[in-house]
Copies of this chain bind each other. A is one copy, B any other.
């Protein structure tokens, strides 16, 4: 059994993650993937443990991500088991990988839906999960300018330094009015636990694509319901998860601005011909799912072993 630390898995890159995530979606389309709903176990007031079980028939491995959340701080490990031998072959640190896989999904969805000539990326919410989401977009579009918004300006400053250190070498602007961000962004990334929309639909630029990764509970509603309603295409990383957990979408359905059968799951999206006009709005919504954790855990294991 091999053990890979957070430090070791850092050599697994966004390019690796996008390639492996795309490949697992193709295997999902070929019925080679078993993806199971997360198992949530509450451990007292502010703690919980979640299990994310999945299985890759082609790779001959199962992966169960075990994630702990304590007072809002999460840590995760993916346990890989060889299906043939029944042996546990690896324990792969999965905190960085969880951020990376979310960024990789946003990259894949952005590549499918965003305008080819998208130049400005707006980032609303600059916490830990937002970092790799930036690099997911940078991997698929020639971004010239990143605009950052956080209600706490100093957090946006820290974020700017972090993404610069990690290699984001375009112009980076910090704004204190979210509308200034919205009106100029070709792509908007949101990663907040907000209980109401973090941008105003009236300011959304024609042709914008939005990646929402913050909301993962019915009470969290960062995406604007009007924007959800008028989007030409909406991709979900995991349809069942979005239907039960994505507050903005649930609210949009409640207000009869959206129907869940319009959602396209990311694996289906790989096989979909999108017919978007330059002015159409598009949305990608991620709540997370076991198979994405498996994609990067197996990918990192294969790269490092």
Contacts and interface: CB of A to CB of B under 8 A. Distances in A.
A53 interface: yes
Given A3-B1, A42-B34, A86-B74, A66 B64 contact: yes
A86 B91 CA distance: 13
A5 B249 CA distance: 48
A91 B39 contact: no
A10 interface: no
Interface in A58-115: 60, 62, 64, 66-68, 70, 74-77, 79, 81, 83-88, 91
A79 B66 contact: yes
Which of under 10, 10 to 19, 20 to 34, or 35 or more describes the interface residues of A?
35 or more
A77 to B, nearest CB: 5
Interface stretch (A43-51, A119-127, A256-264): A43-51
A55 interface: yes
Interface in A147-170: none
A36 interface: yes
B66 A41 contact: no
A304 interface: no
Nearest to A68: B86
Nearest to A81: B66
Interface string A179-212: 0000000000000000000000000000000000
A279 interface: no
B51 A64 contact: yes
Consensus secondary structure, chain A interface: strand
Task: List the number of copies, as a whole number.
Answer: 2
Contacts of A74: 86
Given A41-B53, A53-B39, A81 B64 contact: no
Nearest to A55: B41
Contacts of A43: 34, 55, 57, 60, 62, 83
A83 B49 contact: yes
Contacts of A62: 41, 43, 49, 66, 68
Interface in A1-60: 1, 3, 34, 36, 39, 41-44, 47, 49, 51, 53-55, 57, 60
Given A53-B39, A55-B41, A86 B79 contact: no
A79 to B, nearest CB: 5
Contacts of A81: 49, 66, 68, 77
A17 B116 CA distance: 63
30 contacts: A1-B91, A34-B41, A34-B42, A34-B43, A36-B39, A39-B39, A39-B53, A41-B62, A43-B60, A43-B62, A43-B83, A47-B84, A49-B53, A49-B62, A49-B81, A51-B53, A62-B66, A62-B68, A64-B66, A66-B88, A68-B81, A70-B84, A75-B87, A76-B86, A77-B81, A77-B88, A79-B79, A79-B88, A79-B91, A91-B91
